[in-house]
Amino acid sequence: MEQSFTAREPEVRVLVADDSAFARRMISEILSRAPGIRVVGTASDGREAVSKALLLEPHVLTLDVMMPRLDGLHALQLLASLGSPSVLMLSHFTKEGAELTLRALELGALDFVDKGSPGLAQELPQKVRALAGKKPPRRPPGRCPVKELPRGSGRIKAVAVGASTGGPQALQILLPAFPPDVRFGLLVAQHMPRGFTAPFAQRLQEMCRLQVREARHGDKLHDALVLVAPAGMNMTLEKDLTVRLQRHPQSPYRPSIDVLFASAAEALGSRAMGVLLTGMGADGLKGAQALKARGAPVLAQDEETSVVFGMPKVAQKAGVVDKMVSIIDMAEAIASLA
C-alpha cells in the first residue's frame, strides 16, 4: 500500500481539467468518493484551467496533456509563472502521450497517471493527497555539474538508484551532474507505467554525458553506463555485472527497488551502493537493509528536496541510511563514496 488517509489531515481541494466530458466526470467521481478530497471545479481546456486555478485556488490540478485552445504543456507554463497549484498530469499510453508527459515533468508537473490504468481508482487519490502543497525541486542552471566530481576509485562497481513519485525530476538533476568518465555504472528502478521508461531513458540520454538507455535482458553493466529498468519488469544484477529482467508476481512493484537493491547486495556486497530518492511507500527499505548487512553504503534524498518524503523517511527511521543528501549534492556524495 502506498499511502493511507487519516481524518486529521486537511481536506485536499482539486481542480479537474480535461477536454473529455466523460473523463472529467470519471475523474471527479473517483476523487469525490475518496475521503479527504473535494473536487472544487472542472475545466474543459487549458485556458479555463488557468483561470479557474487562479480563481478557485485548488491544492492540486489534474491536467490533461492534450486539450483544445491551450494544451496542457502551455497551461503548465502559464501556471508555473503565476505560482501554480501542484500539478498531476493525466496521460494516455501512446508514444506521443509519453513524450508530452515527460516534457510536462520538466516544466514543473510533479507526477502523472495513465488514464487507462486498471488501478486508476486507487492510484489517483493516493497521488493527489501526496502531491498537495508540493513543489518540484529547483534545478541548477545549465548542463554542466555544479562542481568537478571525482571519477571514483573503482571500489564501487554499481550504484543502484530507486525512485517513485518525484523521481523523474530528481533523476534529471542527478544524472546530468556526473562527468562522462565515472568508474562505476548505475542501475535505476523508477516506478513508472509501461510505455514510459524507454522515452524517459532517451530524454535522460539527451541531458547527460553518461550513456543512458532502457535495460535489456543480458546487458553488461560497465563504467559510465546507466540502465533504466523497463516498466513491468524487475531488474537484478549478477556477480559478473550481467543484468537480468524478470517478472516477479509476488512483487507489488515492477520495477521493484527492493529486488534491485537486494540483488546488488548479493552480487557485489560492499562494492555496491544504494541511493533512495523521493517517493511514496516503503519500497527500497528491505533492499537497503540487505545492502547495509553486506557493508554497502546507502544514501537517501533529504526531505527538503523530495517531492514526497516517504521512501527516504522510512529507510532513515529504520537506521539503514548512512547520509541524507540534497538532490543537488547527491552526485558529489555518490562520487565521493565511490
Residues annotated as catalytic (active site), given as ranges: 164, 191, 283
Angle at 119 between CA 115 and CA 124, to 5 degrees: 65
Q: Residue 303 in contact with residue 263, Cβ under 8 Å?
A: no
Assign 3-state DSSP to the chain and report helix, strand, coil percentages, each to 5: 35, 20, 45
Q: Residue 338 in contact with residue 159, Cβ under 8 Å?
A: yes
CA atoms within 13 A on the CB side of 96: 3
Residues facing residue 88 across a β-bridge: 62, 111
Residues facing residue 32 across a β-bridge: none
* Torsion sign, CA atoms 23, 24, 29, 35: positive
The C-alpha atoms of residue 242 and residue 237 are separated, in whole angstroms, by 6
Between the CA of residue 45 and those of 73, 102, 250, 328, what are the distances in Å?
A: 12, 20, 41, 35
Q: Residue 124 in contact with residue 63, Cβ under 8 Å?
A: no
The C-alpha atoms of residue 258 and residue 240 are separated, in whole angstroms, by 20
Q: Residue 173 in contact with residue 140, Cβ under 8 Å?
A: yes
- Classify 298 as helix, strand or coil: strand
Residue with cell 487507462: 116
Between the CA of residue 94 and those of 66, 91, 99, 116, what are the distances in Å?
A: 12, 8, 9, 11
